[in-house]
Chain A
Amino acid sequence: MESTSHAFKDNVHEALRDERLQRALGKMKVGFQGNRRRAIERLPEFEALRDEGRAIKDHVLEHLDFYLERFESRVVEAGGHVHWCRTAAEARETIARICRDAGARTVTKGKSMVAEEIAINDHLEREGFEPIETDLGEYIIQLRREPPSHIIAPAVHLSKEDVAEAFYAAHRDLDPERSLVEPTALISEARAMLRQKFQQADVGITGANFLIAETGSTVIVTNEGNGDLTQTLPRVHVVLASLEKVVPTLEDASTILRLLARSATGQEFSAYTTFSTGPRRPGDPDGPQEFHVVLLDNGRTAMLGTEFQEMLRCIRCGACMNHCPVYASVGGHAYGWVYPGPMGAVLTPSLIGVDAAGHLPNASTFCGRCESVCPMRIPLPKMMRHWREKEYAAGLTPATQRWGLGFWAWFARRPGLYHLGTRLAAGLLGRLGRRQGRLRRLPLAGGWTDWRDMPAPEGRTFQQLWAERRESARREDAR
């Protein structure tokens, strides 16, 4: 997917003025936050499970080669194939080749952020295949030819009117007078349209929430059942997954699954959590004949052993963005690429470079709410700060910020001059603002005063007053 992260500020500008988006974000925030809170209130062990989840993933990352090799052997034992891909391009070519070898025409897809990352749909279309998104949210945005705005609720930025517009425009064979006012009507229509596609599909591509080394199983977590239809009906099932998704055992997956749905949507468990191991067995009445796992690196192994390793614990629940005040203000598209919100702010520079994605880790107040809700205890603000450190070291920080900061630090290292300077500033601004107690405009501070008043300083600094107080106390004692 092409990134517009460099245009973050322009994206933000538009997003803040988009009333439909703002209404949708308001709903999203309340829904996800409240649901999560209710779910974790019902599970007293939730905090302890977060520690378990972190420990499991940290262990895996330290032994990632071992677990990937074991996973591969088990997949092969079960009759499947594993394809190792270093880059997005390799993964695209591999998947296209599998589709070609299968003589495929229609390819159904379950929701997969990695698939967005490698832009597989465009590639499949160019190669002559017809990829169909089957997750309702993904289907809607595919019709609108736009990217997802949230990693688990891809169409969260849309109103039902937006969806109806998209359906009227795309489902031309249906009666144009039909009513699509009710969400139930939209769901029924999507279900009917996609049912045909599910059955026509030659290849079904899903992502994977987990890869289980013990058994060679891949796991998808959905509510609609589309992922299951995608992976059961076609002749060929392709799983596309980034390699840090591996966990050791079924028990480890169970532990992390207790965290996932609760953190994501506030459900106790998703409607469909499905473990796939190889193709159909002899005697199975249904199921795919071929099973392929495409393991993607695309920058993950480069994060190992660095200060960004902890980001690889992410289980893509979306809790961070559900609780982020910046995401709640601007929505996912503003971030400009596949992964929005706090986890996107940390991961995107790793995957597409900090020069392209530099705004993302900078557009944060470090309020820390993301880290406080992350089921895997990922220190997101700390890693955003690391990106800022890298930018600073590489000279990418904007000049005004460097100089402003440098100027401040110069004074701060010299207490005498600092106290003099602060006295002057407090005195001047205090005098300017004395009449109303605030300044409506301040040269060089448009970033502040365009939007809010600047309260005036009291006029003398604390250090000044403290020194005077001590001086007069000394004179009192001397008397």
Chain B
Amino acid sequence: MSEARDRILGSIRTSLKRGPLDGERLAAAEDRLAAHRRNLMPSRARAAGEEGIELFVRMATEVAATVERLATPQDVPDAVAAYLAQHNLPAELRVAPDPELDAVPWERRPTLTVGRGRAEDRDATSVTGAVAGVAETGTLVMASGPAHPTTLNLMPDTHIVVLRTDRIVGSYEDAWDVLRARGALSRTVNFITGPSRTGDIEQTIQLGAHGPRRLHILLVDGGDGDGASA
């Protein structure tokens, strides 16, 4: 294997007519990596504050996610119960073992059966948080970890996301800054934009190919910080 590695690297260097990078060129390449500078940013990706939230809502709705704004996390159980009833879904949830979701007063809706952990095959509906929402395309950013099993994003038919409005940022690059601040990247970072879909049958879009058919976002105002950052 390391012979193949050497041969491939050698082939690259032969084609580029040089040896391994060194000196200034190496320093410049190292700097480029370390600095991870942003390239050209579209103006749409600079949306901030209430404008950013509105853009997020508009873009997410365009891709067939549904969005509901709530004043406080206390309102989550009622909103979830109403959503399940509206869609004739069983009153059963698989909730991510996320401290913020633990703090939600699920006991307000005692008819809701709340299980925690990773998704099981029979789970119809999951509830997770999100690291961020990206306004430019209505995209949710999830990072796997003990508080967020990835399977909750993928396996159930319905995925409900509780997102604080102060976690809505303008651009993907803003989201990467948030993730970098948390330390090394998780095993899986999902950028989720709308429910699962396919156009593979005669070019018509059908929702719910393998991932969730429904993506419902509960946008919760408040949180400790200011409004959304740029």
Q: Smallest distance from the beta carbon of B198 to chain A beta carbons, Å? A: 5
Q: Give Cα distance in the complex from A79 to B50, angstroms.
A: 41
User: Within the complex, which residue of A154, A214, A276 is in contact with B187, where a contact is CB–CB below 8 Å?
Assistant: A276
A454 at the interface (CB under 8 A from B): no
Are B191's CB and A274's CB within 8 A? yes
Q: Given A44-B43, A225-B196, A274-B189: A251 and B210 within 8 A (CB)? A: no
Q: Which residues of A contact B171 (CB under 8 A)?
A: 254
B69 at the interface (CB under 8 A from A): no
Q: Smallest distance from the beta carbon of A18 to chain B beta carbons, Å? A: 16
Q: 9 smallest A-B Cβ distances: which pairs?
A: A225-B211, A304-B15, A224-B209, A305-B15, A137-B200, A301-B11, A84-B5, A249-B36, A254-B172
B17 at the interface (CB under 8 A from A): yes
Are A64's CB and B12's CB within 8 A? yes
CB contacts under 8 Å to B, within A247-292, are 248-252, 254-255, 257-258, 265, 267-281, 283-288
Q: Give Cα distance in the complex from A69 to B33, angstroms.
A: 13
Q: Give Cα distance in the complex from A283 to B43, angstroms.
A: 39
Q: Smallest distance from the beta carbon of B87 to chain A beta carbons, Å? A: 16
Q: Given A86-B8, A137-B200, A252-B39: A269 and B190 within 8 A (CB)? A: no
CB contacts under 8 Å to A, within B41-64, are 42-44, 59, 62-63
Q: Give Cα distance in the complex from A220 to B150, angstroms.
A: 15
Are A228's CB and B38's CB within 8 A? no
CB contacts under 8 Å to A, within B131-165, are 136-139, 144-146, 149-151, 153-155
Are A223's CB and B196's CB within 8 A? yes
B121 at the interface (CB under 8 A from A): yes
A170 at the interface (CB under 8 A from B): no
Q: Which residues of B contact A268 (CB under 8 A)?
A: 59, 62-63, 136-138, 193
Q: Which residues of A contact B211 (CB under 8 A)?
A: 224-226, 228-229, 271-272
B167 at the interface (CB under 8 A from A): no
Q: Give Cα distance in the complex from A206 to B155, angstroms.
A: 18
B interface list, Cβ under 8 A from A: 1-2, 4-5, 7-9, 11-17, 20-21, 25-26, 29, 32-33, 36-40, 42-44, 59, 62-63, 97, 117-119, 121, 136-139, 144-146, 149-151, 153-155, 171-173, 176, 184-204, 206, 208-212
Q: Smallest distance from the beta carbon of A274 to chain B beta carbons, Å? A: 5
Stretch at the interface among A155-163, A331-339, A359-367, A431-439: A155-163
A232 at the interface (CB under 8 A from B): yes
Interface of B is mostly: loop
Q: Give Cα distance in the complex from A217 to B189, angstroms.
A: 10
Q: Given A65-B20, A305-B15: A194 and B210 within 8 A (CB)? A: yes
Are B191's CB and A269's CB within 8 A? yes
Are A85's CB and B187's CB within 8 A? no
Are B209's CB and A302's CB within 8 A? no
A297 at the interface (CB under 8 A from B): yes
Q: Given A66-B26, A136-B198, A251-B38: A286 and B149 within 8 A (CB)? A: yes
Q: Give Cα distance in the complex from A304 to B16, angstroms.
A: 7
Q: Smallest distance from the beta carbon of A278 to chain B beta carbons, Å? A: 6
A43 at the interface (CB under 8 A from B): yes
CB-nearest residue of chain A relative to B142? A274
* Contact pattern, A 39-83, Cβ under 8 Å of B = 1, otherwise 0: 000011100110010001001001111111110000000100001
User: Within the complex, which residue of A67, A213, A249, A272 is in contact with B191, where a contact is CB–CB below 8 Å?
Assistant: A272
Q: Which residues of A contact B42 (CB under 8 A)?
A: 43-45, 49, 258
Q: Which residues of B contact A233 (CB under 8 A)?
A: 151
Stretch at the interface among A117-125, A183-191, A393-401, A459-467: A183-191
CB-nearest residue of chain B relative to A30? B203
Q: Smallest distance from the beta carbon of B208 to chain A beta carbons, Å? A: 7
Are B33's CB and A70's CB within 8 A? yes
Q: Smallest distance from the beta carbon of A334 to chain B beta carbons, Å? A: 20
Q: Which residues of A contact B33 (CB under 8 A)?
A: 70, 213-214, 248-249
A449 at the interface (CB under 8 A from B): no
A391 at the interface (CB under 8 A from B): no
A179 at the interface (CB under 8 A from B): no
Q: Smallest distance from the beta carbon of A201 to chain B beta carbons, Å? A: 13
A interface list, Cβ under 8 A from B: 24, 27-28, 31, 43-45, 48-49, 52, 56, 59, 62-70, 78, 83-86, 90, 134-137, 140, 153-156, 159-160, 163, 183-184, 186-187, 190-191, 194-195, 198-199, 213-215, 217, 223-226, 228-229, 231-233, 243, 248-252, 254-255, 257-258, 265, 267-281, 283-288, 295, 297, 301-306
Are B154's CB and A187's CB within 8 A? no
Q: Give Cα distance in the complex from A258 to B43, angstroms.
A: 13
Q: Which residues of B contact A279 (CB under 8 A)?
A: 187
Are A45's CB and B192's CB within 8 A? no
Are A84's CB and B39's CB within 8 A? no
Are B187's CB and A301's CB within 8 A? no
Q: Given A223-B196, A271-B193: A283 and B29 within 8 A (CB)? A: no
Q: Which residues of B contact A305 (CB under 8 A)?
A: 14-17
Are B150's CB and A232's CB within 8 A? yes
Q: Give Cα distance in the complex from A67 to B184, angstroms.
A: 19
Q: What are some 28 contacts across the A-B interface (CB < 8 A)?
A: A43-B44, A45-B42, A49-B42, A56-B39, A155-B201, A163-B201, A183-B201, A183-B204, A223-B197, A223-B209, A224-B209, A229-B210, A254-B171, A255-B39, A269-B191, A272-B192, A274-B188, A277-B187, A277-B189, A280-B144, A284-B144, A284-B186, A284-B187, A285-B97, A285-B151, A286-B118, A301-B15, A305-B17
Q: Give Cα distance in the complex from A136 to B199, angstroms.
A: 9
Q: Given A84-B5, A86-B7, A304-B16: A225 and B150 within 8 A (CB)? A: no
Q: Smallest distance from the beta carbon of A431 to chain B beta carbons, Å? A: 52
Are B196's CB and A186's CB within 8 A? no
Q: Give Cα distance in the complex from A69 to B195, angstroms.
A: 36
Are B32's CB and A248's CB within 8 A? yes
Q: Given A24-B202, A251-B173: A304 and B39 within 8 A (CB)? A: no
Q: Which residues of B contact A288 (CB under 8 A)?
A: 187
Q: Which residues of B contact A283 (CB under 8 A)?
A: 145-146
